[in-house]
């Protein structure tokens, strides 16, 4: 098992390295010149050349890549071209704010999806099952900005004006100090992600409930609660973990749109600002961060898959 997990780890690191290459090349291809973006249209060629030298933009591409990669590995994400401050400092608060959003959405949607999927699988063919299946299909079909706008209309403007529709974060005060303004962004993300998890859980759980070992557990006289938690759930979790991983990885990217919609001061907002300002260093850092979330989440799903499958667990090598 350790070897299997170690292999996955090595693959993850390799993928992450490939991503750094892609990110670097992509920012090279970004139109516009950072020096010109900083100095404005009136700058003289001499000043631009001087700034190029100062920013290291004259060095060959591979040297710039290695310098940047070395910085990333040692935790130095570079200096923001737009604000002239260190990127890490600039993003610190943003990352924390986005993480709060992501973790809340991930925990709630996973728990709700698994519970709802299991519950409907146990009531297959009954009215509750049809209702949940229909509703989840409808919600799953809606893009996140439609859900977000619908929630704003429903809960913060005309119908029930209960919650704030935009996030007001005075400098120096973390967003979570006013929990009510987290509700709508989190709810939007949950509504986007949970239906997939619910549907997948229902399908997998239905299959597991029809399996020989679940019937056998019932015929052994095991209490129904234990039949579900001990015999059925562990087998359903493995395949569903993959879907959860894809959904959570999507969250890392989907957060950009949702943060924009609710004016939430997270990395998504920062990314949009950075792209507008040609702030290459920040764009690189955020893209890499989102990619890293993708990879880590998928790695976790693989590990869950391995842990819930004793055949893989005891396999010496593959």
Partner 1 sequence: MTTQVAVRHALVVADLRVETVTGTPVLRGVSYEIAPGEVLALVGESGSGKTTAGLAALGHFRRGLVPAGGTVTACPRDGDPVPMLELDERQRRSLRGTTVAYIPQDPALSLNPALRVGRQIAEVLEAHGYGASGAERAARVAEVLTEVGLPGDEAYQRRYPHELSGGQQQRVGIAMAFACRPSVVVLDEPTTGLDVTTQTLVLRTVAQLTAEHGVAALYITHDLAVVASIADRVAVMLGGEIVEAGTAEEVLRRPQHTYTRELIDAVPDLDGGGEQARRAPEGSATPALAVRELSVAFGGSPVLRHVGLTVGEGECLLLLGESGSGKTTLSRCVAGLNDRYTGTVALDGRPLAASTRRRTAEELRAVQYVFQSPYSSLNPRRTIAQSVEVPLEMLTDLDRAQRRERVAATLERVRLDPALAGRLPDQLSGGERQRAAIARALVTTPRVLLCDEVTSALDVSVQATIIDLLCELREELGTAMLFVTHNIALARHIADRIAVLQGGEIVESGPVDEVLTDPAHPYTRELLANTPRM
The minimum distance between CB 31 and partner 1, in angstroms, equals 52
The minimum distance between CB 241 and partner 1, in angstroms, equals 14
DSSP codes, 145-175: HHHHHHHHHHHTSSS---S-SS----TTS-G
The minimum distance between CB 112 and partner 1, in angstroms, equals 25
The minimum distance between CB 136 and partner 1, in angstroms, equals 23
Which C-beta is closer to partner 1: that of 127 or that of 220? 220
CA dist 95 and 289 (Å) reads: 9
CA dist 62 and 54 (Å) reads: 18
Which C-beta is closer to partner 1: that of 143 or that of 310? 310
The minimum distance between CB 214 and partner 1, in angstroms, equals 8
The minimum distance between CB 126 and partner 1, in angstroms, equals 13
SS3 of 53-116: the string is HHHCCCCCHHHHHHHHHHHHHCCCCCECCCCCCEHHHHHHHHHHHHHHHHHHHHHHHHHHHHHH
* Residue 232: C-alpha distances to residues 111, 206, 211 (Å): 16, 9, 9
Task: Please report, as ranges, the residues that interact with partner 1 according to CB under 8 A.
Answer: 210-213, 215-224, 226, 230-231, 234-235, 308-311, 314
Q: Which of 266, 230, 219 is nearest to 105 (CA)?
A: 266
The minimum distance between CB 225 and partner 1, in angstroms, equals 11
CA dist 115 and 121 (Å) reads: 10
Which C-beta is closer to partner 1: that of 60 or that of 225? 225
Which C-beta is closer to partner 1: that of 170 or that of 212? 212
Local structure of 266: helix, strand or coil: coil
Which C-beta is closer to partner 1: that of 187 or that of 306? 306
CA 167 vs. chain centroid, Å, equals: 20
CA dist 185 and 193 (Å) reads: 13
Which C-beta is closer to partner 1: that of 12 or that of 242? 242
**Terminus-to-terminus CA distance in the chain, angstroms?**
10
CA dist 98 and 103 (Å) reads: 8
- Structure tokens belonging to residue 132: 């949940």
Which C-beta is closer to partner 1: that of 36 or that of 230? 230
């Amino acid at each position: 098992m350790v070897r299997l997990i170690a292999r996955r780890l090595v693959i993850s690191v390799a993928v992450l390295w490939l991503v750094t290459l892609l990110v670097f090349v992509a920012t090279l291809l970004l139109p516009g010149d950072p020096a010109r973006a900083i100095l404005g249209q009136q700058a003289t060629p001499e000043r631009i050349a001087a700034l190029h030298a100062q920013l290291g933009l004259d060095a060959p591409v591979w040297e710039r890549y290695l310098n940047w990669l070395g910085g990333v590995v040692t935790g130095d994400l570079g200096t923001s071209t737009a604000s002239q401050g260190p990127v890490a400092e600039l993003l610190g608060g943003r990352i924390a704010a986005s993480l709060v959003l992501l973790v809340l959405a991930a925990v709630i949607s996973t728990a709700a999806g698994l519970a709802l999927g299991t519950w409907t699988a146990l009531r297959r063919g009954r009215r509750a099952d049809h209702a949940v299946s229909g509703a989840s299909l409808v919600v799953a079909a809606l893009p996140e900005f439609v859900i977000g706008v619908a929630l704003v209309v429903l809960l913060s403007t005309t119908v029930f004006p209960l919650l704030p529709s935009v996030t007001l974060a005075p400098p120096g005060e973390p967003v979570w100090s006013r929990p009510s303004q987290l509700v709508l962004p989190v709810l939007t993300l949950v509504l986007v992600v949970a239906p997939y998890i619910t549907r997948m859980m229902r399908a997998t759980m239905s299959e597991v409930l029809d399996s020989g070992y679940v019937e056998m557990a019932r015929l052994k006289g095991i209490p129904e609660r234990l039949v579900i938690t001990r015999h059925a759930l562990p087998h359903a979790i493995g395949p569903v973990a993959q879907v959860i991983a894809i959904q959570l990885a999507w969250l890392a990217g989907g957060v950009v749109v949702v943060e924009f919609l609710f004016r939430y001061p997270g990395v998504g907002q920062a990314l949009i600002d950075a792209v507008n300002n040609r702030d290459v260093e920040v764009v690189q850092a955020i893209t890499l961060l989102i990619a890293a979330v993708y990879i880590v989440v998928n790695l976790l799903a693989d590990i869950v898959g391995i842990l819930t499958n004793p055949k893989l667990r005891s396999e010496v090598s593959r």
